[in-house]
Homo-oligomer: A and B are copies of this chain.
Amino acid sequence: MSIREASNARRRMAIIDAAHAIMSQKGLQALNIRDIGKACGCAPGTIYTHFEDLDTLILHANSRTLNQLAQVLEAVDEKGQGRAVPDRLCEMADAYLDFALANRAAWQALFEHQMERPIPQWHRDDHFRLFGSIARLLLLHTAGLDEARVQLVARGLYSSVHGIVSLGTAPRLLRLSDRDIRWQMHLVIHGMLNQLSRENGTGQ
């Protein structure tokens, strides 16, 4: 790797670091090119030689958050080997809530951010990775279900938990207690799994 390539890679990483740090601390709304430049020691214009625009840079910062989150969920997955699937899914949901609370600004940025151009595939894949852990657990629990159905249930489960965490922690609608949020999540998870078994006559 040439001097220039190494320098570019270092600079590129420093810019994402700075963006992710500001985003985590002050939120997506407070993120701007000039502060990122100051934080990583370069001029505003320089950032545009490494990233097409601010939106693209945000995608990279968001992907970092997604990978952190995926690691957390996968760790919970591995830790629960051999235990009952519903309990393990509830633990993953709890971990999701904990992550959202501990990394509120960065987590919110994942869903706040909107861009006009289509989202590139590499970033989509980082998102889909979250469904992976859930789908693997579901496969253990629902023997007779085809692959596509399992994917759909996994995404539905994730979406429901996300909705509960999202609206449960929103100041917009009176913040619920962690206890109440967890209760909602567990109700949905157990309900969905039981309903699946009931409709398919498998598992349980």
Binding site for B on A (CB under 8 A): 29, 111-112, 114, 118-119, 124, 127-128, 152-153, 155-156, 158-164, 166-168, 171-174, 176, 180, 183-184, 187-188, 190-196, 198-199
Contacts and interface: CB of A to CB of B under 8 A. Distances in A.
Given A119-B171, A156-B164, A191-B194, 9 more contacts: A128-B173, A153-B187, A156-B188, A158-B167, A159-B166, A159-B167, A159-B184, A188-B192, A191-B191
B127 A171 contact: no
Nearest to A149: B183
Contacts of A118: 171
Contacts of A160: 159-160, 163-164, 188
A187 B142 CA distance: 15
Main secondary structure of the interface of A (DSSP, over half): helix
Contacts of A172: 119, 124, 127
A152 to B, nearest CB: 6
Contact of A192 (B112, B166, B187): B187
A164 B112 CA distance: 16
Copies of this chain? 2
B153 A163 contact: no
A198 to B, nearest CB: 7
Nearest to A180: B152
A183 B114 contact: no
Contacts of A188: 156, 160, 188, 191-192
A7 to B, nearest CB: 33
Contact of A156 (B112, B128, B187, B196): B187
A195 B188 CA distance: 8
